[in-house]
Structure 1
C-alpha cells in the first residue's frame, strides 16, 4: 500500500552559503561557436512539458484502492540533449555559466531526475523557482556511484537551472557534467497557505493528507500505545520513493546480527505500481532516491502530534527484488560518516531495531501490523487469528502506456481476513506482518480494509521469496543470500537490538516512554506562550544518581499556527543544572544548542547533510535536535532545572505544549520561568505544570525520574487567608518541617509540623506580600527530599 509523497527543498541538495554568479554580477550571452560542438537554444526558448491528460490523471490514481497508493506527480522523460535546452553566459572574469528553463504550465510543483551526474570540484548547479532567490547549490558532494540525482519537486510552474563551471574552464571544456533525464509534473497542491492541501513541504511525510486524513485513520491507534510491540515499532520506517510516492518498510535482521541496514518492503513500492515492470534500471534509480524516516510516530498514546522529521537517512541499493512475489529488499547507503571517513551505523538517537523473521509454513498468531497509512504517523493493527493461510491474489494496474493490465500471484500471499484493531490505507504498502513472537512473516501488497470494513488485506509471504526457482536469476530474486549469509538453514531468526544492553529513553514529564512502562501517562492539556520579557523556561525535576550516560539530543513540542514559518523559529539551547539546598542554581552539567531547528536533516551516500524546511501550520509539532557527539551525563541524586532558551537570548515566544493540573501527577516536576529583570522563579501561569521539553539519553540503567524520597507522594497543600493548609499521610506518621523561601532563595520561615491527624496549618501572616516557595520535608531528610508548594501571599 504505497502512498505518493512530495518534497520542497531539494533532495540531495548540499546547501551552501553561495549564491549564483547571476545574482552577484551581470552575465553576458556567449556569441559564436564554443569549440565543443555545443548546441545552444535562443535565450527565450525553454523546455516545455504538457499537463497530464484526464486519462493520465485517471491512470495515475488508479492504484489508490488496490495497491493503497496515492500518486501526485507524473513522469515526463526528456529526450532532448541537455546542452540544447539552455544558453551559455560569461561573467566579467570570463567564467562560464549555463542557464536553462523548464516549464510545466499550471503545475503545482516540478521535480527533476538527473543522470550522468558527476560534478567536478568547483562546479555548482543551482535549481530555483523562477523569480525566487536561490538557497544553495548541488556540488561534487552530491556525486553518487550510480551518477543519479533526484531533485525533489519545487512549488513552481517554471524552474531555472544554472550550472557554474569551475573558474578557469576553457571553451573547449564546456561539456555538461549531468543529463536531465526526466521531469515530474506535480498535479496536486502542497503549499496553498491556509488550505487543506497545505499538509507538507516537499520532502516531508504527509501527516494529515486530505485523502488519508487523521480522522479517517482513527481506528488505527498510535503504535506508541502498545509498548509490547515497541521493538517492532522501532523497526518500522516511512519511505519516500523516487520523488513521487510514500510507503512503509522495516529494518530486518540477518543471521550474523551485524546491523547491516537492510529494509524489507514491497516491489510495487519501487516500480511505480508495476509501471516499471521489468525495468530494473529504473527501479534501481528509485532505490537510490529513497528517503527513510525513523521514529515518525506521534509521541502521544492518544491524540496526534506531528512528530520529528529530523531523524532520516537517504539513498539505498537494491539487493533483493522479485516482482513474481512482490518482494523487495533495500540496503540503506546514506549513513553518516565517522571522523575517519568510514560509514558509521544508524545513529542511536534514531533507536533502530532489526526485526527477526520466520519462514516456517505455519506461523502462529495473533499477528500484528505496524505501518504508516496515509504517509502519516506509525499505526498499530492486530488480528486475533492464530493461523494464516496463503492464497491467490489478483490486481489490475495500468502500465506506462495507460493500458490496463492484470497481475496474478498464485499461493504467494498471506490472507488477513479481518482486523480486530486497526485497518490499512494508502501508504501502508511494504509494512511488515509480525507473528506472536514479533518476527516478520510477510509484507503488505494491497487490500481493501477501511475503518468501516477492516477486512481483506494481503501480505506477500517471506517463505515464498526465500529462494528463487528462476534458473540463472542470481541472488537478487531471493532473500536467503542476504538474510542468511551464514547458510545456517534456519527457519527463524531473532531480532537484533544494536542499542542493547543499553537503553535510549526520554527524560520527560509528559512523554509516555515505552521503555519506562510504569510511568503514568500525563497528556499536555494547555498551550502556553511565555509572557513578555520571559527569555527562558524550564522544568524542575528530580533525578537519581546517573553515571556515564550519553546525551543524544533534546525534544521540544509546541503548537504552531498559520502565521509561524520556519524562518521565524529561533534556534534553541537546552541546559541542565542542579538546585542547591537554598534553591540557587549550580553550574550547568549539560548545555548545547540547535543549529537547524525548523529543518529536517538527511545524509547522502557521502555523509553530507541536507536540509529542507518543515511545515508549520496549526499542528502540534515535535522537534528534535541532536547533542554534540560524545556529550556525557554524570550527576548525583537531587533536584535539577532543565531549561530552554533561545540561542541568541531573545524572548522565547513559542507556544509550547504543557501540562497544568494536580502537581502530584508530575512526580515532583514543576514549571519555572526566567524573566530578564527578575531571574528564575516558579511559573505563576503553570503553578501545577510542566513544559514539554525532554532530554534523550542513552544509558546502561533505566533512569526513573520519579525518584522516591522519604516523603510520600500524597502530600497536598494550598494557600488561603494568610496560611498554608497541608494534608497527607506523611503528616500522620513522619516528623516534618516546612521552610519558606522567597524567589531569590532567602529563607524567611522555618517551622516544625506537629502530627495532628494528617493535617497541618502554617500561618504566614508575618511575611511581606509576595511570591514564595514552601519546602516541606521529613525533619531528618535533605532539602532535595522536599515537596515544594508555590504560593502568592497577599
Structure 2
C-alpha cells in the first residue's frame, strides 16, 4: 500500500473472517449479473482493520557506507530495450485484441540474493539484499515474486529512485504460506527492491523475482487515450454525488502484471462479507490460475469531476483465488485474499435473478482504457436475452 493517510469511515458493518468454501452457485445466476453489469448496491458496507503493509522504512540514502560494504554501490541492472511502437502495433492486430487491455511488456528474469544485486550487513543486526531494475522509457514497473517465504521480522520494500512512491513493508503476514506475490506498479523507469532480514532470523528467507513488467502505455496517466475522445456520455463518477456509494463497489484490476480490466465487489446470499469480485473470464485469459496474480484497486476516481487530475492509486490489495470461471459465459468470480480496510470504503453490490425490470435508469460503471471510474445511464427498460 502506498504511504498515505486517509480518514476512518464510521457507521459501517464490521467484517469478520470466515472459513472459505467453494462457490457452488449456478452459472446462470452469474451469467445474469455479467450480462447486465448494472448492479444494485448492498445495504451494508465493509469495515475491517486489515492492512496491506506492515510498517518500517527502506534504508536511508547512502546507508551502505556504514555497512560491511563500506561505500555506496550501484545495484541497478539494465533491462533490454523495449520497442514501444512495435508492441502497440502487435496489440492492435485483430487476433490479439482478446482479453483485457494490455499495458505492459513482460521481461522474464531470475533475480535473487544469490544471482543479482548486492548483499550486506548493517549494524551487526540486519542482513540486506538490494537490487535495482532500470528499464528506460517505462511509465511504471512492477514485478512478480515467484518465491516469497519470509521469516518473522523480515520485510520487503519497493520504491523508485526519487522515493516519490514507496511500497511496503511487505512481510510474511502478506503471504503466510509463501508462494507467488504480486505488487502494484511503481512510477518511473527505475525500481529498487530492498529486503531486510534479522541476522538471527529463524531461517534465511526465500525471495525470487522472475517477471518484470514494463508499462509502455501509461496506465495511470491522467487524461490519456480514452479521455482524449471527450465523450460526454461517459462522465467521471465524481460528477454525480448520488453515485458515491455505488462507486465504491467498482474496482480496477491488474492481472498478471500486464493487463487491466474492471471488476465489481459482489454480495452473496449468506451476506457474510466475503470479498468476492466479479469480472470477465477473458480478463484472466480464461486461465483460473491468474487469480493469484490480481492487484485490485478501489476508489480510482478522478477528483472534482476533472479527468485531467490523476486519481489516487493508494487503495490496493494483492492476490485472490478464482472461485468460479466459465469461458462460455465469460465470467470469473474471485475472492480477494485480504479484506479491504475500512478507509477503502468498500461496498458490496447486490444482484438478483429476477428478470422483471423494477427501476431505471440503469447505471453502468467501468474503467475504460484503465482510466478513472466513469459511468453511463440507460433510461430505457432492459430486455432479457440469452446467448450461446
8 Å CA contact 1:237, 1:292 repeated in 2: yes
Q: Answer yes or no: is the 8 Å Cα contact 1:212–1:373 preserved in 2.
A: no
Match for 2:254 among 241, 244, 251?
241
Given the alignment of the two structures, is residue 371 of structure 1 paired with residue 365 of structure 2, yes or no? yes
**Secondary structure, aligned partner of 1:85:** coil
Contact 2:151 2:201 in 1 (8 A): no
Using the TM superposition, give the Cα deviation of residue 213 of structure 1 relative to its aligned residue in structure 2, in angstroms. Answer: 0.8
Decide whether the 8 Å contact of 1:299 with 1:305 is kept in 2: no
Q: Is the Cα–Cα contact under 8 Å of residues 223 and 233 in structure 1 kept in the other structure?
A: no
Q: Which residue of 1 aligns with 2:138?
A: 107
Residue 354 (structure 1) aligned with residue 349 (structure 2): yes
Matched, 1:285 2:320: no
Q: 1:101 to 1:390 in 2, by over 3 A?
A: same
Q: Secondary structure in 2 aligned to 1:335?
A: coil
Whole-angstrom distance in 2 between the partners of 1:292 and 1:363: 29
Q: Who is 2:281 aligned against?
A: 267
Aligned partners of 2:57 and 2:157 also within 8 Å: no
SS of 1:78's equivalent in the other structure is strand
Query: Could you tell me whether the CA contact under 8 Å between 2:144 and 2:181 is conserved in 1?
Result: yes
Provide, for residues 12-40 of structure 1, a one-character-per-residue CA deviation record: whole Å limited to 9, x for no partner: 5544245359627523359xxxxxxxxxx
Of 79, 86, 91, the residue aligned with 1:49 is 79
Identify the residue that residue 181 of structure 1 maps to in structure 2: 210
CA distance in 2, matches of 1:285, 1:12: 16
For the 8 Å contact 2:238–2:244, the answer to whether it is kept is: no
- Cα deviation, 1:77-111, whole Å, max 9, x if unaligned, reads 22466621233323463753323333323433321
Pick the aligned partner of 2:184 from 152, 156, 160.
Answer: 152
* Per-residue deviation, residues 57-85 of structure 1 (Å, max 9, x unmatched): 33345589966854331112224666212
CA positional deviation for 1:182: 0.8
TM-score for the superposition, normalised by structure 1 = 0.36
* Paired position in structure 1 for 2:63: 23
Instruction: Quote the Cα distance in structure 2 between the aligned partners of 1:365 and 1:163.
Output: 54
Distance 1:151 1:367, change over 3 A: same
Alpha-carbon distance in structure 1 between the residues aligned to 2:200 and 2:207? 19
Is the 8 Å Cα contact of residues 297 and 313 (structure 2) preserved in structure 1? Answer: no
> What residue number does 1:168 align with?
200
| Distance verdict in 2 for CA 1:264–1:95, change over 3 Å | closer
**What is the TM-score when the length of structure 2 is the normalising length?**
0.67
Aligned length: 334
Equivalent residues of 2:152, 2:201 under 8 A apart: no
The equivalences for 1:662-677 within 5 A come to none
Unmatched tracts of structure 1, length 5 or more: 1-6, 31-42, 191-199, 201-205, 337-345, 392-410, 412-794
Shift of 1:365: 8.5
C-alpha distance 19-115 of structure 1, shift in aligned 2 (>3 A):
same
| 3-state SS, counterpart of residue 321 of structure 2 | strand
Taking the TM superposition and a 5 Å limit, the aligned residue runs for 1:68-79 are 69-79=100-110
Task: Return the alpha-carbon distance in structure 2 between the equivalents of residues 218 and 351 of structure 1.
Answer: 27
What secondary structure is seen at the aligned counterpart in 1 of 2:333? strand
Separation (CA, whole Å) in 1 of partners of 2:81 and 2:350: 43
Asked whether the equivalents of residues 145 and 182 of structure 2 are also in contact (C-alpha less than 8 Å), the reply is yes
Correspondence 1:224-623 to 2 at 5 A: 233-234=246-247, 236-242=249-255, 243-269=257-283, 271=284, 274=285, 277-278=286-287, 280-281=288-289, 283-287=290-294, 289-293=295-299, 296=301, 309=312, 312=315, 314-315=317-318, 316-335=320-339, 347=342, 350=345, 352-358=347-353, 368-374=362-368, 375-382=371-378, 384=380, 386-391=382-387, 411=388
Task: Judge conservation of contact 1:12–1:151 (CA < 8 Å) in 2.
Answer: no
CA drift of 1:317 comes to: 2.7
**Quick check: 1:93 aligned with 2:124?**
yes
Which of 222, 226, 230 is the matching residue for 1:216?
Answer: 230
The 3 A distance-change label for structure 1 pair 309 and 77 is: same
CA contact (8 A) 2:223 2:309 kept: no
Deviation digits for residues 444-487 of structure 1 (CA, Å, limit 9, x no counterpart): xxxxxxxxxxxxxxxxxxxxxxxxxxxxxxxxxxxxxxxxxxxx
Measured in 1, the distance between the counterparts of 2:252 and 2:230 equals 21
RMSD: 4.4
Distance change >3 Å, CA 372–CA 217, structure 1 → 2 = farther
Give SS of 1:58's match.
helix
Tell me the CA shift for residue 177 of structure 1.
2.2
Q: Is the 8 A contact 2:253 2:263 kept in 1?
A: no
Secondary structure (helix, strand or coil) at the match of 2:272 reads coil
> Structure 2: any 5+ residue segments left out of the alignment?
5-50
Pick the structure with greater CA Rg. Answer: 1
Query: Is the contact made by 1:21 and 1:91 (CA closer than 8 Å) also made in structure 2?
Result: no
**2-structure distance, mates of 1:95, 1:84:** 20
Q: Identify the residue that residue 17 of structure 2 maps to in structure 1.
A: none
Counterparts of 1:349 and 1:80, CA distance in 2: 33
